[in-house]
A and B are shown apart, each in its own frame.
Chain A
Amino acid sequence: MVEFRNVSYTYPTGQHAINRLNLKIDDSEFVFIVGANGAGKSTLIKLILRELRATEGEVIVNGFNLSTMKKRKIPKLRRTIGVVFQDFRLIPNMTVYDNVAFALRAIDAPTKYIRTRVPYVIQLVGLTSKAKSYPNDLSGGEQQRVALARALVNDPQLIIADEPTGNVDPARSFEIVDLLKAINACGTTVLMVTHEHSLVKYFGGRIININSGTIAFDEFIGGENESEN
């Protein structure tokens, strides 16, 4: 669950990025966040990940009150969140398996668990045959699947996908969102930031439009895929 209560954030330069924003995303929701460049989407994500602390108001994520939380608790919060980036952020000298396992090693998971969990997640994103490949040998879509597997391997309550289709060709973009939808269907909350209106229109659901640090639009719209069905 993500909740913003009257949240504002002003950068040290004086730029107001978020203005008295109120928002509630319940567990198991799938939300598209859209908005122009500089609208405040990235700041919103940074606030959820507690990279930034709200200058005003309260941010609550997965039961953690980020406004009062101590810095040393940040890793605990982040273990409940999976993040997928536009540029994949994979480690080039590690295989697909190691890239995914890395997320579990970083949280001191038992080796036995890593050995069973990692192949399972790689299989979920359909990359079992590429487990021993290196990121540079994969296509953009495949690399994003690896990033998704890495985000998923910790079994997070919330997945934040920041422009996950930005470096992927259009056909593969739909596959990525399909995958996110499938993850969401299993109960994980998904928050996807995107610029691609075609995806939003096609999949529909809850759409939040951010403009000048406030919510300009927060509605459920029907997707084209639903009408196709």
Chain B
Amino acid sequence: MRISSFKYLVKQGFAGIWFNRINSFASLCVITISLMMVGISVLLSMNINSMIGSIESRNEVIVVIEDGTPENNVTLLGEQLKSNPNIFEVNFYSKDDAWKGMIEKMSEEEVENLKYITTNPLPDCYRIRVSDIDKLSDTVAEIDKLESVDTVQSPDDFASILVGIRNVSTLLFSAVTLSLIVVCFVIISNSTRASVYARRREINIMRYVGASKSFIEIPFFVEGLVIGIISAGIAYGITWFAYREVYSVFSADVSMLHIFGLTALIPFDTIAVPTAIAYAVCGVILSAIGTVVSTRKHLNV
């Protein structure tokens, strides 16, 4: 295709947006809202996962060592724990450290009551953190089999609740995202149909004079592409503004910070570029594919 023809077709695409401005505006609004909802649901999902991850990483599994285990065996156990792929942190906590820690947390009265205890009854232990809470029960079972291990104390119930929340949220957000993508396609298809109808006279003439399929389709493609890019830009702007506002509300309230673990919330600055790219790609792909598919369907060229 000649550059002059291509320029002409691109111009026709822009002219089409203006010619069907009410329709274009309606498509722009609905695509913007859909993209925004998809974006917000993805961001929410990311943040929930991040929060769950943060809570996960704060959970400790305590590996109690059998009383009287020689030092060599304790060291060996530590090495074995470190070699487990699901364990990312291993800290030895001696019975003396445990005693000190316990005393520090007690009141003076409680400490007074302990003066009759002459031997430290607490065991040596390892405090470990797992990287994937989904595999917690398997990891605990593996540790349990190791030599010198007396008991393993793990937050099984809490872990299963976290895993449940994460699975439900992932499923929910996937369903929302998928349904919004379908909505976008339907809207783009309707918009293209209206556009094809508005230009049926030109299309008819194009067919009779022997215009190629691509020649007929390109202006619609350009129209969809431009609407997609503008929608993505607007959706990004609104998301950016809304996210920052929500983030500042959360960071201003210490109790929320405590409840939700704000350190796990992702600041927008760190995800601004990937979000912008995702919006642009989604907007362009959705509108470009939507337009091409529906143009072929409605044009029957």
Which A residues are closer than 8 A to B by beta carbons? 49, 72, 74-81, 83, 89, 91, 93, 102-103, 105-108, 110-111, 150, 154
A105 touches B201 (CB 8 A): no
List residues of chain B with CB within 8 A of the CB of A78. 207-210
A-chain residues with CB within 8 Å of residue B201 when the two chains form the complex: 89, 91
Binds A, one of B1-9, B264-272, B291-299: B1-9
Q: How far is the CA of A107 from the CA of B212 in the complex (A)?
A: 7
Residues of B within 8 A of A102 (CB): 202, 205, 209
Chain A residues in 8 Å Cβ range of B208: 49, 78, 83
User: How far is B2's CA from A79's CA once the two chains are assembled, in angstroms?
Assistant: 17
Instruction: Give me 21 A-to-B residue pairs in the complex whose CB atoms sit less than 8 angstroms apart, sorted by A's number.
Output: A49-B208, A72-B213, A74-B210, A75-B210, A75-B211, A75-B212, A76-B210, A78-B207, A78-B208, A78-B210, A80-B210, A89-B201, A91-B201, A91-B205, A93-B19, A102-B202, A102-B209, A103-B205, A106-B215, A108-B5, A150-B205
The distance in angstroms between the C-alpha atoms of A83 and B212, with both chains bound, is: 17
Please determine whether A154 and B215 come into contact, CB atoms closer than 8 angstroms: no
Check if B207 sits within 8 Å of A108, measured CB to CB. no
Please state if B204 and A154 are interface contacts (CB–CB under 8 Å). Answer: no
Q: Which of B1-52 contact A (CB under 8 A)?
A: 1-2, 4-5, 8, 19
A77–B209 Cα gap in the complex (Å)? 9
Alpha-carbon separation in the docked complex, A68 to B200 (Å): 28
Given A72-B213, A75-B212, residue A108 in contact with residue B205 (CB < 8 A)? no
- Kindly provide the distance from the CB of A61 to the nearest chain B CB, expressed in whole angstroms: 13
| Distance of A79 Cα from B211 Cα, bound (Å) | 8
In the complex, which residues of chain B have a beta carbon less than 8 angstroms from the beta carbon of A105? 5, 8
Number of interface residues of B (CB under 8 A): 19
**B220 CB, min distance to chain A CBs, angstroms:** 15
The answer to whether residues A110 and B4 also contact, given A75-B210, A78-B209 and a CB cut-off of 8 A, is yes
Residue in contact with B210 in the complex, picked from A77, A93, A150, CB distance below 8 Å: A77
Contact present for A107 and B209 (CB under 8 Å): yes
Complex CA distance for A69 and B210, rounded to whole angstroms = 15
- Top 8 closest pairs, chain A to chain B, by CB: A78-B210, A79-B210, A106-B211, A103-B209, A75-B210, A111-B4, A108-B5, A83-B208
Instruction: Give the interface SS of chain B, mostly helix, strand, loop or mixed.
Output: helix
Contacts of A49 in B (CB 8 A): 208
Binding site for A on B (CB under 8 A): 1-2, 4-5, 8, 19, 201-202, 204-213, 215
Q: How far is the CB of A83 from chain B (nearest CB, A)?
A: 5
Residue of B1, B8, B210 near A154 (CB, 8 A) is: B210
Closest chain-A Cβ to B31's Cβ sits at a distance in Å of 26
Closest to B4 in A: A111
In the complex, A154 Cα to B201 Cα: how many Å?
Answer: 19
Most buried by B among A80, A89, A102, A105: A105
User: Roughly how many angstroms separate A106 CA and B208 CA in the complex, as a whole number?
Assistant: 10
User: Smallest CB–CB gap between A87 and chain B, Å?
Assistant: 10
Known contacts A89-B201, A89-B204; is-contact A108 B215 (Cβ 8 Å): yes
Instruction: Select one of A80, A89, A110 contacting B205, CB under 8 A.
Output: A89
Instruction: Name, among A83, A89, A102, A108, the residue most crowded by chain B CB atoms within 10 Å (CB to CB).
Output: A108
Q: Kindly state the separation between the CA atoms of A76 and B207 in the bound complex, as whole angstroms.
A: 11
Kindly report which residue of chain A lies nearest to residue B2, judged by CB atoms: A108
Contact of B211 among A83, A107, A110 (CB under 8 A): A107
Quick one: which of B19, B202, B211 has the most chain A CB within 10 A?
A: B211
Q: How far, in Å, is B140 (CB) from chain A's closest CB?
A: 65
Give the docked Cα–Cα distance between A72 and B204 (Å): 17
State the Cβ distance, A4 to closest chain B Cβ, in Å.
20
Is B8 touching A107 in the complex (CB atoms < 8 A)?
Answer: no
Identify B1's interface contact among A75, A80, A89, A108, CB under 8 A: A108
Cα(A89)–Cα(B209), bound, Å: 12
How far apart sit A122 and B235, CA to CA, in the bound complex (Å)?
49
Q: Determine which residue in B209, B211, B215 has the highest number of CB atoms from chain A within 10 A of its CB, and name it.
A: B209
- B209: chain A residues within 8 A (beta carbon): 78-79, 102-103, 106-107, 150, 154
**B4 → chain A, closest Cβ, in Å?**
5
Which residues on A sit within 8 Å (CB–CB) of B206?
106
Known pairs A76-B210, A83-B208; list 16 more (Cβ under 8 Å): A49-B208, A75-B211, A78-B209, A78-B210, A79-B210, A80-B210, A81-B210, A102-B202, A102-B209, A105-B5, A106-B209, A107-B210, A107-B211, A110-B2, A150-B205, A154-B209
A110 to B2, CA, bound (A): 8
Closest A residue by C-beta to B215: A106
Nearest residue, chain A, Cβ from B205: A89
State in angstroms the CA–CA spacing of A23 and B299 once bound together: 32
A72 to B216 alpha-carbon distance, docked (Å): 13
Bound state CA distance, A102 and B5, in angstroms? 11
